[in-house]
Each structure stands twice: as structure tokens, then as C-alpha cells.
Amino acid sequence: MKKMFLLMAAASLLFACNENTAQKEKKEEVKEGVEKIGENVKETANSAGDYLAEQKKKAEEDLSDRITKIDQKIEDLKKDGSEKGKKARKKLEELKVEMNKKLDDVKNSSESAWNDTKKGVDTLLDKSDKEWTELKQNFKKLFE
């Protein structure tokens, strides 16, 4: 009976050791899986950050280019002393102020606010296109 009891105890011990090894292996697999997920999350976050930085840079460049064009036209209009030239220059200066504000918004925009900022930039660029076209039509001689 003692032998049987010892044999059962040894078998139980062996079974318990095997179970711990299997559990350890499972824990290692889970740990590796979690680490891999963590790396993927980091890569995704870096990609999202890079994408956001790229979008912000493009918006800044678009606004800066438009502001430069407006500045050039304002300088040209300063040479023209007519009343129409003054009106056109005033409209362009107002548009420039608005663009500079939006440029500041883009530069200071957080990731969470980016979608709203981007919509505002797109809306302003569309508005400036329309106003530019309108100014060219209304002041043809000044825009030649």
C-alpha cells in the first residue's frame, strides 16, 4: 500500500510539474503576443504621428504659398492709386489676416483637434480661391 501511495504521489508530482511547464509555456506565448501587440501599437502610433505631421506640413505650405501670392498682389496694388485698387487691396489684406490666423491654428493644432482644423483650412482655401477669382473678375485691369 505504501508503494502504491508513493507511486501515486510521484505521479501526481510529475503531473503537477508538467502542468506548470505547460502553464509557463502558455504564459511565455501570451507574454510574447502582448509584446508584439505593443510593438504594433507603437508602430501604428508612430505612423499616425508621421501622417499628422505630413498633413500639417502640407497645410502650412498651402497657406504660406497663398499668403505669399496675396502679399505680392498687395504690393502690386500699392502702386495703383485708384479707388478700385484700394478696395481690392483691402479685401486681400482681410483675407491675409484670416489666412495668418488659420496658419497659426495649423501650427498649434493638436492631434485631437486636427480634423476640425483641417476642415477649416480647406474651407478657407476654397473661400480664398473664390475671392481671388471674384477680385480678378471685378478688377480685371488690376490683375493683368
Half-sphere exposure of 109 (CA within 13 A, CB side): 26
| Residue 11, domain member (yes or no) | no
Could you tell me the pTM of the whole model?
A: 0.61
Whole-number Å distance between alpha carbons of 96 and 140: 20
| Residue 93, domain member (yes or no) | yes
| Residue 8, domain member (yes or no) | no
Compute how many other C-beta atoms are within 10 angstroms of the C-beta atom of residue 116. Answer: 11
| Residue 84, domain member (yes or no) | yes
Question: How many domains, in total, are found in the chain?
Answer: 1
Q: How many helices (H) and strands (E) does the chain have?
A: 3, 0
| Residue 4, domain member (yes or no) | no
Q: What is the pLDDT of residues 22-56, one digit of tens each?
A: 666 766 776 676 566 666 655 665 666 777 888 88
C-alpha cell at 60: 502650412
| Residue 1, domain member (yes or no) | no
Residue 121 contacts residue 128 (beta carbons within 8 Å): no
Domain region containing 34: 18-143
| Residue 63, domain member (yes or no) | yes
Query: Could you tell me which of 105, 103, 95, 104 has the C-alpha nearest to residue 129?
Result: 95
Q: What is the pLDDT of residues 74-114, one digit of tens each?
A: 888 888 777 877 888 888 899 889 989 988 888 888 878 78
| Residue 7, domain member (yes or no) | no
Instruction: Scan for cell 476642415, then name that residue.
Output: 119
